[in-house]
Amino acid sequence: MIRFIENIIRSAVDATVDKAVTRMIRDQYTENLFELVPATTKVGTTNLMEIAMRANQGTSVSRPLGSPIHLSPWEKILFNPCHLFRFPTPENVGIQTSVTIGQRARKPLTLSIPVMIAAMSFGGALSKSTKIALAKAATAVGTATNSGEAGLLEEEREAAHLFIGQYNRGGWMNTPDKYMRLDAIEIQLGQGAQGSSPQRTTAKNIGEDYREVFGLQHGEDALIHSRLPGVNTKEDFIQLVRRLRDESGVPVGLKIAATHHLEKELAIAVEAGVDFVTVDGAEGGTHGGSPTLQDDVGLPTLFAVARTSDFFMRKRVMGDIQLLATGGLVTPGKMLKALALGADAVYIGTAAVMALASEQMVKTVPFEPPTSLVVYSGKMTDQLDVEQAALNLTRYLNACMQEMEQVAISLGKTAIADIAKSDLCTIDPFLAKATGIQLGMVSSEEQEQFFVDTQPAFDDDRPYEHQPVEFSEKQL
């Protein structure tokens, strides 16, 4: 009987496909459904849908989780395992994973692992239950979670053993009764997915718990300004950093969207005496932001990390100021490469939320997106199992660290912090030139001569792969 039904279905599908293909072959493009294929190929599936959304809604599209464009070529960077030149670490030797942020502060912040939960605010982004689950998981593995641009959510503070709060452009964490309860203060001036643009949550989307945490009146919108209130000059920022350090004793840092002005911004941060700098690359996520801000604004994370690290080295502040990297770091390999390039620790946001939701996503599909479980305005936030979510994120963080430790062993290192740029190579000559990572195409001894021989390729504005490079007899 089953075989009979299967045969009927197969015959029906075969006839339908035959008819569809024949019609696509015979019809002119103007009457042909196949028109969607070249049209979608030309503009891209995401762009096609966002064009339609803009046309329908007449306002900026709010896209969740950041840009889908991969701007940091992490896949072109590889680690160098060792065998005899330097021996791998014995398997019975533990790998040190801890890191201290704000070593000059009266109350430094020490993490068990160099991976933290990124700034994702209660209300503006995530639900209360999601924030609590993130905090529980961070506590379970001995790392910190971040408030995001929000007020002090008591339940999150209680669940987080190590809690970094953002002194933010909305002003909701900017009073001593709140920032004095933090383990580190991160002054938020921008983020990768939104630059320093203002943001507004209208009162109709703000619930009672949101109003209470943010200190808003009924009918009042939640507004994130483009600049920090009271900070209109370089001197204002320097005074703010010094006041917060003196008052709190905890590490005080700066978070910015990574831009091509990076070194100019960092110079002021160094002058202010910050304890850490968080650079958020263009691949950074967000609960919802315009595609233009996400796709067309900012500097990729990889180059932001490399440039910040080089700047700190030139200014001789490595070790005094910790570098925290974030933005599109969704695999342990990418996280570890950012650490090798000079970051002291990394934040993860999108990956943390996905790990947290994991199998609970089945509660939402096929009729709702998975984010409806975790965002503040989601339709199904009451169905998130907080304890299960925290357990899944804890497992994910532990798995990430195990994979990083495996690489460390193969590199012959006994601490994650000891993994450096010299443990990397790249297969891209331009990436090697830009970052100082050695080029894997030739031996270490031949690096300099290779770039001398291929100098015309770097002097020309045309892409490298199109250059007629002449190699020496030795190289051939």
pLDDT for the residue numbered 106: 96
Residue 310 has pLDDT above 90, yes or no: yes
**What's the predicted TM-score (pTM) here?**
0.88
Residue 467 has pLDDT above 70, yes or no: no
Residue 462 has pLDDT above 60, yes or no: no
Structural domain boundaries of the chain? Answer: 1-43, 74-424
pLDDT for the residue numbered 461: 54
Top pLDDT among 475 and 168 is at 168
Query: What is the tens place of the pLDDT at every residue in 142-162?
Result: 999 999 999 999 999 999 999
Phi, psi dihedral angles at 249 (to 5 degrees) = 80, -10
Phi, psi dihedral angles at 257 (to 5 degrees) = -75, 135
Report the SS3 class of residue 120: coil
Q: What distance in Å separates the CA atoms of residue 243 and residue 238, rounded to the nearest whole number?
A: 9
* Cα dihedral 349→193→281→225 (10° resolution): -100
DSSP 440: T
Query: What is the tens place of the pLDDT at every residue in 26-69?
Result: 888 888 888 888 888 888 889 888 888 888 888 888 888 888 88
pLDDT cut 90: percent of the chain above it:
66
pLDDT for the residue numbered 98: 97
DSSP 321: B
Q: Which two three-digit tokens encode residue 466?
A: 């199109």
Q: What distance in Å separates the CA atoms of residue 133 and residue 117, rounded to the nearest whole number?
A: 11
* Range from 108-117, 260-269, 364-373 carrying the lowest mean pLDDT: 364-373
What value does the mean pLDDT of the chain take? 91
Residue with token string 């006994």: 414
Q: Which two three-digit tokens encode residue 80?
A: 């160098």
Mean pLDDT (whole number) for 112-141: 96
* Range from 2-6, 85-89, 136-140, 424-428 carrying the lowest mean pLDDT: 2-6
Mean pLDDT (whole number) for 381-397: 95
Residue with token string 């790249």: 426
Query: What is the tens place of the pLDDT at every residue in 167-223?
Result: 999 999 999 999 999 999 999 999 888 888 898 989 888 999 999 999 999 999 999
Q: Are strands 184-188 and 252-257 parallel, antiparallel or unpaired?
A: parallel
User: Residue 116 in contact with residue 144, Cβ under 8 Å?
Assistant: yes
* Range from 4-13, 250-259, 287-296, 465-474 carrying the lowest mean pLDDT: 465-474
Mean pLDDT (whole number) for 451-474: 60
HSE on the CB side for 192, CA within 13 Å? 34
DSSP 68: -
* 173 alpha-carbon distance from chain centroid: 23
Mean pLDDT (whole number) for 337-348: 98
**CATH fit for domain 74-424, picks 3.30.450.70, 3.30.750.24, 3.20.20.70, 3.40.50.2000:** 3.20.20.70
DSSP 418: G
Which of 16-30, 125-139, 461-475 holds the top average pLDDT?
A: 125-139
Top pLDDT among 289 and 237 is at 237
Measured between alpha carbons, how far is residue 126 from residues 2, 149, 153 in Å?
48, 11, 12
pLDDT for the residue numbered 472: 47
User: Residue 186 in contact with residue 166, Cβ under 8 Å?
Assistant: yes
366 preceded by cis ω (within 30°)? yes
Say how many residues make up the chain.
476
User: Residue 348 in contact with residue 115, Cβ under 8 Å?
Assistant: yes
Give the residue from 261, 305, 263, 312 showing the smallest Cα distance to 280: 305
Mean pLDDT (whole number) for 243-263: 96
pLDDT for the residue numbered 454: 86
Quickly list H helices, 27-103: 36-43, 45-57
